[in-house]
A and B are shown apart, each in its own frame.
Chain A
Amino acid sequence: MNVSGAVVRARGLVKTHGQGQSRVRAVDEVGLEVPQGQTLAVMGPSGCGKSTLLHLLGGLERPTGGEVWMAGRRIDTLSERALARMRRRSVGFVFQAFHLVEELSAAENVELPALLAGCSRRQARRRASLLLEQVGLSGRARHLPSQLSGGQRQRVAVARALANDPLVVLADEPTGNLDTAATLDVLRIFEDLRSAGQTLVIVTHDERVAATADRLVSMRDGMFVDDTWLTGSPTRGLGGLIGLEE
C-alpha cells in the first residue's frame, strides 16, 4: 500500500493506563493504515481498547509509544495548539452520547466547527443548512437538542462532524444510545457517506454498524486479532440466504 495515500496511519501504537502493578496496556502495539475513501470498522467487546485507539487516531489522547500520522503528517508530537487545530480542520468526531451544545439550535451546533475554523457566518450557515438537509433534518434546524429524539440528535452530530469537510470521520459507538428505528437512520447515513467516498473509522460492538464498513478489524485485549474485507459477494449470494438456490 502506498504510505503517502493513507489518510490515517499508526505504527507500534501503545497506550497504557495506570501505574505499577495496576498498569494496563489499553492499546498494545497496534499498526494500521486507512487509505482515502475506506470505511473501517473496529469491533470488539467493551474494554478491548477500541475507544482508546480511536482517541489516539484523532489526537484526543497522546500515545505512550508509537506514532500517529494524519495525511502524511505526524500528529502525536504536535504541540497542544497545533493538535487542536488539526482536529478542528481534519477530523470529524461522532460520539455515543452525541455531545451537542444544549443551548444551541441544531443549525447552530452544525455551524460551530466551521466558525471555529475561521469561516464567515454566511459560509457556515450555508454549509450547515446543506448538511442538515443531507441528514434529513432541514425541518428541525431551529430545534434545540432537547427537542429532538436520540436519532435526530445523532444525525445532527454527524452533520456537525462533516462541517469542515474532514479528511476522516471518527465515530465511537454511534448507535450505542439509539433504538432500532434510529439506528437504521444512522446506518443509512453511514451508507451514504461510504458511497460518497468519505474516509471513515467506526468503533462499535454493534454488528449492524460494522456491516456498513468495507473492512473490519477485530480487537481483543488491546491487540488486533483479525483484519478482513467485508466487500465482495458472499459465497452463495442473496438468494442463498433464504434457501432459494437449490
Chain B
Amino acid sequence: MQDAVLAMLAKEPSHGYHLRARLRQSLGPLGESMNPGQIYVTLTRLEKAGLVVCERADGLPERPERKVYALTPAGQQRVAAWLAEVGWPKPDLAEFHLKLAAAAAARLADPVELVAAQRRELLRRLREVQQAMLAEPEGSGAGPLLEGVVLRLRADLRWLDACERAWSRADDEKADEVEGG
C-alpha cells in the first residue's frame, strides 16, 4: 500500500482525497471495503519516513485549506526501486500443505475433508469476484485485477484437486495395508 501511494505521487503532487479516488478507480469493487482513513494513515507514515512532504495549499472559499503531498528525492528513489523490483507475493501453499500433513499424522482431522472445506471457501470467493467481474463495464480500470484474482483462485482450486487425489490415494494405501496385514 505504501509503495502504491508513493508511486501515484510520481505523476504530480496531490491531495489525499484525490489519491483515494484514483485508488478506488483502479480497484473497482475490490476497493469498496477500503477504510476511508487508510490513505491518510499511509500518507502520515510516509511523511514521518521522509518520503513525502506535506504542504498547505490555499483553500477555496467554500472549503478550508488542504494538504498537498509531494515526493521527496528519497521518495522518488523508493518509487524507482519498487518499479524495478520483481518480488511476487507468495500464497500460503506450504502452510496448508503442512496443515494436511500434520492433521493426517496426528489423526486430528481427515485431510480430504480439510481440502473439501477449503474448496468450498475458495468457490464462494470465486463466485463473488466472478460476479463482480461480469458486472464491470468494458474497459473498467479494475478489469485486469479482477481477472487476476479469478485466475489465482482457479489455480488454487486445481491445486486442491491435486491435494485431494494425493490424500485419497494415501488413504487407500493405508486401508490396503490394514487389510493385507
Q: Which of A223-246 contact B (CB under 8 A)?
A: 225-226, 228, 230-235, 237-246
Indicate if the CB atoms of A242 and B128 lie closer than 8 Å: no
Partner of A242, one of B30, B121, B161: B30
Over the window 115-147 of chain B, the binary record of Cβ atoms lying under 8 Å from chain A Cβ atoms (1 yes, 0 no) is 010011101111111111010000000000100
Contact A211 B127 (CB under 8 A): yes
Chain B residues near A179 (CB-CB < 8 A): none
B146-168 vs A, CB cutoff 8 Å, 1 = contact: the mask equals: 00011001100100010000000
How big is the B interface, by class? 20 to 34
Residue pair A239, B33 in contact (C-beta under 8 Å) = yes
Residues of A within 8 A of B89 (CB): 243
Q: Closest residue of chain B to A242, judged by CB?
A: B30
Given that A233-B128, A241-B149 are contacting pairs, would A228 and B120 also be in contact in the complex, using a CB cutoff of 8 Å? yes
Task: Give every chain A residue within 8 A of B130 (Cβ-Cβ).
Answer: 187, 208, 211-212
B124 adjacent to A238 (CB under 8 Å):
no
User: Within 8 Å CB of B131, what residues of A?
Assistant: 191
B80 contacts the other chain (CB 8 A): no
Residues of B near A233 (CB, < 8 A) are 128
Cα A232 to Cα B153 in complex, Å, equals: 18
Assess A238 versus B33: contact at CB under 8 Å? Given A187-B130, A230-B124: yes
Chain B CB within 8 A of A188 CB:
yes
Say if the beta carbon of B85 comes within 8 Å of chain A: no
Say which residue of B34, B145, B154 sits within 8 Å of A207 (CB atoms).
B154
Chain A interface residue bracket vs B: 20 to 34
Give the residues in chain B near A210, CB-CB below 8 Å. Answer: 123
Q: How far, in angstroms, from A243 to B127 measured CA to CA in the complex?
A: 18
Given A187-B134, A207-B126, A212-B127, A235-B116 contact (CB < 8 Å)? no
B127 & A230 in contact (Cβ 8 Å cutoff):
yes
Shortest CB distance B39–A (Å): 12
A216 lies within 8 A of chain B by Cβ: yes
Given that A188-B134, A207-B154, A208-B154 are known contacts, is A239 also in contact with B30, CB under 8 Å in the complex?
yes
Cβ–Cβ < 8 Å partners of A83 in chain B: none
- Chain A interface (Cβ < 8 Å from any Cβ of B): 45, 184, 187-188, 191, 207-208, 210-213, 216, 218, 225-226, 228, 230-235, 237-246
> 29 interchain pairs (CB within 8 A)?
A184-B134, A188-B134, A207-B123, A207-B126, A207-B153, A207-B157, A208-B126, A208-B130, A208-B150, A210-B123, A211-B123, A212-B130, A218-B116, A218-B119, A226-B120, A228-B120, A230-B120, A230-B123, A234-B124, A235-B121, A238-B29, A238-B128, A239-B30, A241-B129, A242-B27, A242-B30, A243-B89, A245-B33, A245-B35
- The residues of B with any CB-CB pair to A shorter than 8 Å are 1, 27, 29-35, 89, 116, 119-121, 123-132, 134, 145, 149-150, 153-154, 157, 161
